[in-house]
Copies of this chain bind each other. A is one copy, B any other.
């Protein structure tokens, strides 16, 4: 597998559209893209894998390997052209054109997401905000009118939406996901602390704030235990300065 040495003697394009890009690499491509954008803003036209890797916070060997899955877009002895590589990564991710996105659940988090400029600047366009609670409906958030949840299917069909964001309480998350899938959405970003059940073919990514904190707490506990132990072993200076 791997390697475009896989027969398929199609000479037209350099890149084989059937390459399997490892999931771990896919997760890093956006990071590289952001680093490249940052370089471009500083008018840097080209960079080495070492520079880009530092900017992205990864190992340079890993970066080169990741990029090699896309094709050979660098020049040995020189490095990578920032604009060219940016475009290639954007094309691979599929953010050369904007993706319409809807947000369901316009509470505190939903409003923050709607106002988040990072979405619009990176290939996404929020086309609608929905909420089931009547008090929210009709209000304007981030320049968009909050519409009733029952309009979901209509909006998805009209705007060709394939990506949905769920920022409702955990108890409502599954219902919202079901409705999204029924409406034709096939990628869901879920902020609700709940496990979503979706049919095959639908992708779900979960962002769970309290889980992240708990992971930190675990390591923090270990650090504290480690420190106690060191103290037990004697000979550390006191904590109070």
Contacts and interface: CB of A to CB of B under 8 A. Distances in A.
How often does this chain occur in the complex, in copies? 2
A49 interface: no
A182 interface: no
Give chain A's interface residue range (CB within 8 Å of chain B).
35 or more
B95 A214 contact: yes
Majority DSSP secondary structure for residues of A touching B: helix
Given A93-B214, A123-B213, 19 more contacts: A27-B215, A56-B195, A93-B217, A93-B221, A94-B217, A101-B213, A108-B111, A108-B116, A109-B112, A118-B209, A122-B214, A123-B217, A124-B213, A163-B220, A189-B209, A189-B212, A189-B213, A203-B219, A205-B216
Interface in A37-60: 55-57
B31 A211 contact: yes
Nearest to A113: B209
Contacts of A187: 216-217, 219-220
A144 interface: no
Contacts of A94: 217-218, 220-222
A201 interface: yes
A230 to B, nearest CB: 11
A225 interface: yes
A71 interface: no
A139 interface: no
